[in-house]
Chain A
Amino acid sequence: MKRSIVCLAVGVLLLSAVGTGMAKEQELIGAGATFPYPLYSKMFDVYSKEYGVKVNYQAIGSGGGIRQLINKTVDFGGSDAVMSDEDLKAAQAPVLHIPTVAGAVVVTYNLSGGPEIKLTPDVIADIFLGKIKKWSDPRILSTNTGTKLPDMAITVVHRSDGSGTTNIFADYLSKVSAEWKEKVGTGTSLNWPTGLGGKGNPGVAGLVQQTPGSVGYVELIYALQNKMPYADLKNKKGNWIKPSITSTSKAANIALPDNMMVSLTDSEAADGYPIAGFTWILLYKEQKYGDRTEDKANEVVKLVWWMTHQGQKYAEPMEYAPLSKAAMEKAEKLIKSVTYGGKPMMK
């Protein structure tokens, strides 16, 4: 019996040795944001059919993506939050933030009949601060005259994991509410004043879907795919904006820095949706680390190039805003700056 166990063990190891040797780096591992996950899942499926390279992307939240990239346990990270100074220091090497698409964080809710409601920035902040506790609060009613709102308690739903979506949302709230900025602040994991936690965008959507009277924040596609209502918001210029590809693209129409580490919230654009944000693929500028082969680095760079070019056509059907020309130019520059052993990978 022991002999058969030994044979089994040897067989398993041989199998993986063969697998490792044979595969010309046929599998890439990524982890991170749930924000773009529906889109990435589609993109990677198409990519694997076209190029034979499998991309295993686990949507564990932007915080997870950043952590695993720092730990070098993944080939690339996905995040809708820019890496903090502490994170960049921990990475010990420059990390590029390459934008893939922009998306909208919508305020979704569970009210019978799914009425359309309008919310102002201060009201949103106070709901999530726990100060406005009922749907029948006069401040909510004042912007929704004509809509019947029940006298129900508001249940806040937020993320329980480290999330870039949270980061975008909190970044916006910090800009529009001094109290939020002081009490809670911005980041991927927050000390939420109130509410339930759901894991990932799907978790929050699921909880809101099942809890009457609840309100949460998710990426637009999650609300659409689950047929959940979302609010119109008043932007900086005082206009009521419905979240959509158009309003997201308008919000992204600002001066973009070279490193693309920019926030799109509280946009100055007249028709821009106030809670929009880029989502990025994070990778090390210098790809020669650990025992990474040039092959593997090549595959990662090819993937990101494809995502920012041919892959863009999958964005709109899923209600994500594709990169503008200006954004794409910056992205191309960033991708071209990726090196292996000091030599740039793309010519």
Chain B
Amino acid sequence: MLESAGQMIEPLERAQAESVHHRPGFTLSEGAFRKILYLAGISVLVLLIAIFFSLLLASMPSMKALGIRFLTGRTWDPVTSHFGALPFLVGTLVTSFLALCISILFSLPISIFLGYYHREGKASSFVKTVIELLAGVPSVIYGFWGLFFFIPIIRFVETELGVAPYGVGILASSLILAVMIIPYSASLGREVINLVPNDLKEAALSLGATRFEVIRKVILPYARSGIFAGILLSLGRALGETMAVTMLIGNSNFLPTSIFSPANTMASVIANEFTEATGAIYLSSLIQLALLLFVVTTVINIIGKIIISRTSVT
């Protein structure tokens, strides 16, 4: 940021001013200041731990009452207080993985486009900007758009296929999720592809390889773990996504039977039922779902970070 000596002048002048005039307002000793910094440093860690334990504590009632049946039970029945979360686990996994597969189909080409074919230039910055803006669109707007864009199309397809024309369901939410997570794997993928050493690429080209072959045999193998980390990041985002999914998934607490079935994910069932969970076990079960979400996304983030640091990228 401060590149030239000329840009340093103003800050240096400020430093000079500071050294001469002892202005009131900052008479903290160095020791105290450093302690404050340390405190700030551990604050986020403390926050995370506090989140974990709060969730754990609040999940205790349902953990004690339901045990392992929580994860294996297929019925979510508030009337009899039998809460089996399997339908939501399945719903979450199916939508997330389906979304991931669909998104890779698009994010990998973008990474290659921006990282290899067009690393600079107007086309590149335009595409890069649009992709990053896509990441910034609020989830609820994606859901709203999906309601009026994807649902009619899917309903049409379902009528043609003779299946119940729900429109909403797993396919709809997977599609919208796919669009939402493309930017994440795309940008990380682009970064790693960009960083493939030039000499490797040029060596391959000088040996007569086509660009396609350079990509297949040099770039992708080299950037493999970084791309994988980007995919993990996308997965983490997809697992926790709430609003767009809630609006498009059909809100059925049943184990989905096909791609056209309505379903629920862990996040969407919490959004639907939290404000009205009457009964301690009910509320605690929903919080247990949140705990599960928290643990799974944390683990995925840690794995992704380990992979990234191992390939010493970024």
Find out whether A and B make contact in their complex, taking CB atoms under 8 A apart as touching: yes
Q: Please pick, from A3, A60, A191, A197, the residue contacting B79 in the complex, using a CB distance under 8 A.
A: A191
Task: Please tell me if the beta carbons of A190 and B277 are within 8 angstroms of each other in the complex.
Answer: no
Q: Please pick, from A63, A194, A211, the residue contacting B165 in the complex, using a CB distance under 8 A.
A: A211
> Looking across the interface, which residue of chain A has its beta carbon closest to that of B281?
A86
Query: Which residues of the other chain, A, contact B273 by a CB distance below 8 angstroms?
Result: 63, 160-162, 189
| Number of interface residues, chain A, beta carbon within 8 A | 41
For window 183-211 of A, CB contacts with B under 8 Å fall at 184-192, 194-199, 207, 210-211
Check A272 for interface membership: any CB of B closer than 8 A. no
Digit string of A6-33 for contact with B (CB within 8 Å is 1, else 0)? 0000000000000000000000000100
Task: Please tell me if the beta carbons of A90 and B251 are within 8 angstroms of each other in the complex.
Answer: no
Check A155 for interface membership: any CB of B closer than 8 A. yes
Complex Cα spacing A162 to B164, Å: 25
For window 139-193 of A, CB contacts with B under 8 Å fall at 153, 155, 160-162, 184-192
Complex Cα spacing A87 to B282, Å: 12
Check A61 for interface membership: any CB of B closer than 8 A. yes
Query: Which residues of the other chain, B, contact A62 by a CB distance below 8 angstroms?
Result: 276
Complex Cα spacing A184 to B76, Å: 12
Check B167 for interface membership: any CB of A closer than 8 A. yes
For window 214-256 of A, CB contacts with B under 8 Å fall at none
Query: Which residues of the other chain, B, contact A68 by a CB distance below 8 angstroms?
Result: 275
Task: Please tell me if the beta carbons of A67 and B166 are within 8 angstroms of each other in the complex.
Answer: no
Nearest-neighbour CB distance to chain B for A66, whole angstroms, equals 5
> Looking across the interface, which residue of chain B has its beta carbon closest to that of A160?
B251
Complex Cα spacing A319 to B251, Å: 29
Check A127 for interface membership: any CB of B closer than 8 A. no
Check B262 for interface membership: any CB of A closer than 8 A. yes
Nearest-neighbour CB distance to chain A for B258, whole angstroms, equals 14
Check B297 for interface membership: any CB of A closer than 8 A. no
Assuming the contacts A187-B78, A191-B77, A211-B167, asked whether A197 and B272 have C-beta atoms less than 8 A apart, the reply is yes
Task: Please tell me if the beta carbons of A70 and B251 are within 8 angstroms of each other in the complex.
Answer: no
Check A322 for interface membership: any CB of B closer than 8 A. no
Task: Please tell me if the beta carbons of A187 and B166 are within 8 angstroms of each other in the complex.
Answer: no
Check B291 for interface membership: any CB of A closer than 8 A. no
Task: Please tell me if the beta carbons of B78 and A189 are within 8 angstroms of each other in the complex.
Answer: yes
Assuming the contacts A162-B78, A190-B79, asked whether A197 and B252 have C-beta atoms less than 8 A apart, the reply is yes
Check B279 for interface membership: any CB of A closer than 8 A. yes
Check A64 for interface membership: any CB of B closer than 8 A. yes
> Looking across the interface, which residue of chain A has its beta carbon closest to that of B262?
A196
> Looking across the interface, which residue of chain B has its beta carbon closest to that of A70?
B278
Query: Which residues of the other chain, A, contact B250 by a CB distance below 8 angstroms?
Result: 196-197
Query: Which residues of the other chain, B, contact A153 by a CB distance below 8 angstroms?
Result: 164-165
Check B168 for interface membership: any CB of A closer than 8 A. yes
> Looking across the interface, which residue of chain A has its beta carbon closest to that of B147?
A210
Query: Which residues of the other chain, A, contact B276 by a CB distance below 8 angstroms?
Result: 60-67, 161-162, 188-189
Write 23 A-B pairs (CB below 8 A) sorted by A numbering: A3-B25, A31-B275, A61-B275, A63-B276, A63-B277, A65-B276, A66-B276, A67-B275, A67-B276, A86-B278, A90-B279, A160-B252, A162-B273, A162-B276, A187-B79, A188-B278, A190-B77, A190-B78, A196-B262, A197-B251, A197-B252, A210-B151, A212-B165
Which 5 residue pairs of A and B lie closest in terms of their CB atoms, listed nearest first?
Answer: A197-B251, A63-B276, A64-B276, A160-B251, A162-B276
- Assuming A162-B78, A188-B278, what are 16 further A-B pairs, CB within 8 angstroms? A63-B277, A64-B276, A67-B277, A84-B278, A153-B165, A155-B164, A160-B251, A160-B273, A161-B272, A162-B273, A188-B78, A191-B75, A192-B254, A196-B251, A197-B251, A199-B272
Which positions in A face B, CB cutoff 8 Å?
3, 31, 60-68, 70, 84, 86-87, 90, 153, 155, 160-162, 184-192, 194-199, 207, 210-213
